[in-house]
Chain A
C-alpha cells in the first residue's frame, strides 16, 4: 500500500480537531462508572458538570477544554506499507499547523526560553511524532493526543535502586497523586512506567496514561500493580478537582520494560479527565476515523 501525503496532512488536521471535540466512548463510560459509585455530594455534582460538558461540546461543536495541549502524533506502520518517512513527518506538521490556523485553535506552543509563540501549535520538536511498526499488513494508523498541560506538569521520575523493591513504586505513585492534588484536573488516568532507562521509563508512563480505559497491561506483573494501585489511589479522598470524594482516578495504568541489574526506575505521568485522543486508520479502502 502506498500512502498519499495529502491524505496524511488532511488526517493530521482532522485528528487534532476531532480529538479536541469528541471524547472517546471508553472515557464517557469511565465517567458513568465513577458517578455511579461516588458517595460525596460535591464530587457527584462536579462529575455531573463534567458529563454535561461532554454533551455541550458535541451539541455546540466546540472544544471540550480550552487547553489545546501539546500535539502528539503516534504513527504505527504495518507490513508492506510504502511511505517516505521524512515526507510523512512534514505532512503531519503541516496538518497540525493548518488545524490551528483554519479552526482558530489557541496555539499553546512556545520556545522554552524566549517564550515566542509561532501561533501554529508547532515549534522545535513539536508536534511530537512517534513512529513504530506492526505486523499487520497494509495498515497505517495515526493516533493524535492533545496532551493537556495541567496534567503534563504533574510528571515525575525516580531513579530508585534494586534494594528499594516494588514498595518504592507503590509509595511513589501514592505520593505523586497526593502531590498533584487538584492541580492535575482529577479524575485522572495515572500513567506509571516501571523499568527501562530514564527516558524509556517516562515514555512508558505516557503510554500508560494515554491508553484506553478498560485496557490492561500485557505484562501480568504490571496488570497486578494496576489493580492494586487503582483501588489504593481512590481511597485517598482527593476527589474530582481536588475538592474531595472517591473519584480521584478512573484508573492507574502501568507499562513495564526490562531494566539494568542496578536500576529500579519508576515514572508517573498523569492524564486529566479530558482524556482526549483520536485515530485515523489508512487501508487500501481509504481513511477511517475513530479512537
Chain B
C-alpha cells in the first residue's frame, strides 16, 4: 500500500510495479478521451496527432469555455468543470489504446472488466480509480487545457490537460491480475443468497 508521485510519460517498469491498494498522484500531461473519441479512433479509422506513448488517459468529457488563445489557454479553451465518467462503456477500447498507442494508465470510475485486466497483464498497464461525481475538486488539480484534437467531436474531443498533484488516485486494477472491483463483486454475490433468504425471497 505505497504512495507514488509520478510524472507522465511513464515507462513499463514504473507501471508494472504498481499494485492494487497503492495510491498515485500524477503531474504532467493527461489526455481526456471517451465514447465518441474512441469510436472514431478505432471503428472509423481516425488517427490522433498526439503521441500517447507512456501516457495516462482519463475517461472524461469536460465542461469548457471558449476563450482567446494565450499562454494560460494555449488551446483557446479554459477548463470549467472536469471530472470522470463510467469506464465500463469503454471496455473494448483498452487493448487497442495500449497496443496501438502505447497508453500505460487508464483513469476513470466504476472499473473495467476482464478484457482490460488481461490487457494490463499482457501489455503493462493499470487502472486508477478517480471518485466519480467529485469534479469540482478534480478541476482544482487541472492547470490548463494545453491542446485539443478531433475537436469536431466536442465535448468528446481528445483533450490534452496539464495537471499538477492530480490525485490521490487508487490503483484499482494492476498488471499482476489484481482487481478491487472483481474482489468486491465476488464477495457481494456470495452474500446474495443469505440476504434474499432473510427477505423471504429465495430463488425458485
Contact = CB atoms under 8 A, between A and B. Distances in A.
Interface of A: 42, 46, 49-50, 52-53, 56-57, 60, 62-68, 104-108, 115, 117, 119, 148-150, 153, 166-171, 174-175, 178, 181-185, 228-229, 232, 235-244, 272-274
A171 B64 CA distance: 42
A171 B196 contact: yes
A212 to B, nearest CB: 18
Please classify the interface of chain B as helix (H, G, I), strand (E, B), loop, or mixed, using the class held by over half of its residues: mixed
Nearest to B62: A66
B18 interface: no
What are the 6 A-B residue pairs with the smallest beta carbon separation, nearest first?
A66-B83, A57-B136, A53-B134, A170-B201, A167-B201, A104-B65
Contacts, number: 174
B46 to A, nearest CB: 14
A167 B60 CA distance: 39
Contacts of B132: 65, 150, 185, 241, 272
Interface string B113-144: 00000000000000001011111110110000
B184 A242 contact: yes
A212 B203 CA distance: 32
A174 B154 CA distance: 38
Instruction: Label chain A's interface by main secondary structure.
Output: loop
B184 A239 contact: yes
B80 A63 contact: yes
Interface string B57-83: 000111111100000000000001111
B88 A178 contact: no
B53 interface: no
A49 B184 contact: no
Given A170-B199, A181-B181, A66 B192 contact: no
Contact of A171 (B129, B187, B203): B203
A176 to B, nearest CB: 12
B133 A238 contact: no
